[in-house]
Amino acid sequence: MKELDFERITLSITGMRTSTREYELLKTDTGLQATMYDGPWLYNDDIKREDCQLSQGIGTDRDYRKVAEILSGLGIEKWNGFSGSDPNILDGESFSLTIILSDGRTVEARGCNSYPKNYKEFFECLDEAVNGPKEY
């Protein structure tokens, strides 16, 4: 399976609270850097995004390749241009996704209480890259 060769992935999630949770995955010279931020930096000029960092995962080239393969299998490139909304949900969340591919193309998607196919698996992949595998 062909990998989704990316330079940067940014997923921002906002909900009912005045806070934003953001996942950022970066391709590095040694592999993968995955960071999660959670805080009100978009709503408060006195708070910087960097001050809201909750966790960070540093991975090898093998980790980068694993994430790239998973994302390719989920069909993330097909999400480009997705813009969904479900007006029947009053208290939900919105997401905004930007993926910068290594060839210079960009994949952008956004939604309000509406998500593209495989979004849950995509989110779990990002969360695991930052926080490590879930232990049940």
pLDDT tens for 53-92 read 988 989 999 999 999 999 999 999 999 999 999 888 777 8
Sign of CA dihedral 133, 32, 15, 53: positive
Residue 120 lies in a domain: yes
What digits encode the pLDDT tens for the residues 109-136? 999 999 999 999 999 999 999 988 877 6
> What is the domain extent for residue 56?
6-131
**pTM, 2 dp:** 0.90
Task: State which H helix or E strand residue 123 sits in.
Answer: helix 119-131
> Do the domain assignments include residue 12?
yes
Query: Does a structural domain hold residue 136?
Result: no
CATH of the domain at 98: 3.30.1560
